Amino acid sequence: MELLNFFHYDFLVRALLAGSMLAILAGVLGVFLVLRKLSLIGDGLSHVSFGAVALGLLLGVYPFYVSLPITAVAAFLIFRLGERSKFYGDAAIGIVSAVGIAGGVIIASLAQGFNVDLFSYLFGSLLAISWNELYFLLALTVAGLAFIIYYYRPLFALAFDETAAKALGVKVKFLNTVLLLLTALTVAAAVKAVGVMLVSALLILPAASALQLSKNFKTTLFSAAVWALLSVLIGLAASLSFNLPTGASIVMASFFIFVFTYLIGRWRR
Amino acid sequence: MSVILKVKNINIDYNNIPALKDVSFELESGAYVGLAGPNGAGKTSLVKAILGLEAISSGEIELFGQPLTSFSQWEKIAYLPQKHQYNQLFPASVLEVVLSGLAGLPRRPKKESQEKAQVLLNDLEIIGEENKLFSRLSGGQQQRVLLARALIRQPELLILDEPTTALDPQVREKFFKILNKINKEKGTAIIMVTHDTSDIGRYAESLLYLDRSLIFYGLFSDFCDSQRMKDYFGDFSQHLICHQHDH
């Protein structure tokens, strides 16, 4: 009952709604990233987002608005580097990620004075989500899910076998571009909620949990969203009940769910 | 019989090293052509070029009367790529893999597509496995599921790249019989890449032999009678290619 009383507070309602939307979108996108061995793209983009937040603070612009376009551009850079240059995609992620963090640290050291604000983004705060950010998340989640539902079959073909998908006449470039853009915007939004250090967990852990038990692709996407949502609810409840950091509590809840699904999966096999 | 594929003087270079030199040929509807040649002969490059997956340095390709650059009737073509190790973690059911063959085509009613997939799986003797994970099937079953993925498009041209590599002899035999049936009963034209010319002699009526440039294109029987090919391969090799299938 005490927990329910918390929801008389606006900021808690916003946190719950924002966390739920982020969870569903990140959970579903995470399945595509994990299966295409792009799990670490979330990590790389969150580091870029850190640099972008620093830039926003330096320029006196709300960091979220600076982070969105810069993270999106970084996502395309990773994709292009991996596609065109003579090295693997994970090396491209590593390069962009390192430059993002280095840029953020240099800006912070040059500017001095906003370190406290900047470092609050390292671990995020779901409870500090604003209405504007919530509306953005709502639009992003609706657009993202609509895209995935509408292009479900081509997206499946792309994830399963990219060469065959191209030969089937699937618009591979278009789908890859939209998936990347959605991932970048989700990461930029998630950095505020769970922090630079933990954002990739939101993409990877629910997908990894779903993969332990699923029998087909459709249920994998659905269960990744459910596990992610459950992580947010449990994490938020634990955070409020035991006065723990929200982002870290969500990640730990997600990890325990992964352990649970892993054990069930092993037992079934 | 109409010409469904025209390849005109195409060249493919990788870092200025020619992979294909001045290759030209035509394919008629309902044909069954075996595409053979030694390793590195440019077989996969050629089929990928036909499918628009590989850029050509010069020349022209026409599919169903349209230049490849503006070709849009992809529903007429299906492709079974060279077998690669599929991600064992990928949670795809057999039915989902078959239905993914419809990706890139206009939407059809779900029930109709599922029924069609079911019929194909039954024809290919994958019975009662539609909800099983694709990764749990044997190599031969996986190849047949991938063939079903190609056939659900009801293609007029089916291109297969070494479809029987890594299959045991019994499964290979079954696979070839299925292809033969598709070619004879449905009139689907087939281009089958293989490095084993004895496969071609048994099922395909024509042979396209490639070794960066086109060495031979014509009926398999003509290949075996050709003095030019005897000179090219030597008596013994030609004998092996032409008569191995009889044993």
Domain count, chain A: 1
- Pick the closest to residue A71 from A36, A97, A38 (CA basis): A97
Q: Which residues of B4-33 are buried (b: 16+ CB within 10 A; e: fewer)?
A: bbbbeebbbeeeeeebbbebebebeebbbb
CATH of B3-86+155-246, one of 3.40.47.10, 3.40.50.300, 3.40.50.450, 3.30.310.50: 3.40.50.300
For residue B60, the cross-strand partners are B8
Q: Which residues contact A191 (CB under 8 A, 6 or more apart)?
A: A46, A49, A50, A53, A67, A121, A124, A199
**Interface touch A215/B93, C-beta < 8 Å:** yes
Q: Which residues contact B13 (CB under 8 A, 6 or more apart)?
A: B19, B57
Average pLDDT, chain B: 87
d(CA A252, CA A224) in angstroms, rounded, equals 16
Q: Would you tell me how many other CB atoms lie within 10 Å of the CB of residue A27?
A: 29
| Res B26 pLDDT > 80 | yes
Look up residue A153 and give its two tokens. Answer: 């079959």
**Predicted local distance difference test score (pLDDT) of residue B233:** 77
Q: Where are the domains of chain B?
A: 3-86+155-246
Read off the CATH number of the domain in which A147 is found: 1.10.3470.10
**Predicted local distance difference test score (pLDDT) of residue A28:** 96
**Predicted local distance difference test score (pLDDT) of residue A127:** 83
**Interface touch A167/B91, C-beta < 8 Å:** no
Look up residue B150 and give its two tokens. Answer: 């190609």
Amino acid at the residue B171: V
**Predicted local distance difference test score (pLDDT) of residue B104:** 81
DSSP state, residue A168: T
Distances (CA, A) of B61 to A10, B13, B66: 63, 16, 8
The answer to whether B89 and A210 have CB atoms below 8 angstroms apart is: no
Residue B128 Cα, gap to closest chain A Cα (Å) = 15
d(CA A231, CA A125) in angstroms, rounded, equals 15
The model's pLDDT over B216-228, given as tens digits with 9 standing for 90+, comes to 998 888 887 777 7
**Predicted local distance difference test score (pLDDT) of residue B4:** 94
The share of chain B scoring above pLDDT 70, in percent, equals 94
**Interface touch A216/B102, C-beta < 8 Å:** no
Q: What is the mean pLDDT of residues B154-183?
A: 86
Q: Which candidate from A153, A154, A163 shows the least CB-CB separation from B53? A: A163
**Interface touch B104/A211, C-beta < 8 Å:** no
**Predicted local distance difference test score (pLDDT) of residue B247:** 40
Report the C-alpha dihedral over residues A186, A191, A196, A197, rounded to 10 degrees.
-80
d(CA A115, CA A57) in angstroms, rounded, equals 9
Residue B142 Cα, gap to closest chain A Cα (Å) = 13
| Res B101 pLDDT > 50 | yes
Task: Tell me which of A216, A219, A223 to substitute to probe the interface with B (most B C-beta atoms closer than 10 Å).
Answer: A216
**List of chain A residues with pLDDT < 70:** 1-7, 84-89, 113-114, 116
| Res B123 pLDDT > 80 | yes
**Predicted local distance difference test score (pLDDT) of residue A148:** 96
**Interface touch A171/B104, C-beta < 8 Å:** yes
Task: Identify the three-state secondary structure at position B61.
Answer: strand
- Is the ipTM, as predicted for this complex, more than 0.85? no
pTM for the model stands at 0.86
- Residues of B with Cβ-Cβ distance to A216 under 8 angstroms: 91-93, 95-96, 131, 133
- Pick the closest to residue B189 from B204, B210, B174 (CA basis): B204
- Look at B38 and B25; give whichever has higher pLDDT: B25
**Interface touch A217/B53, C-beta < 8 Å:** no
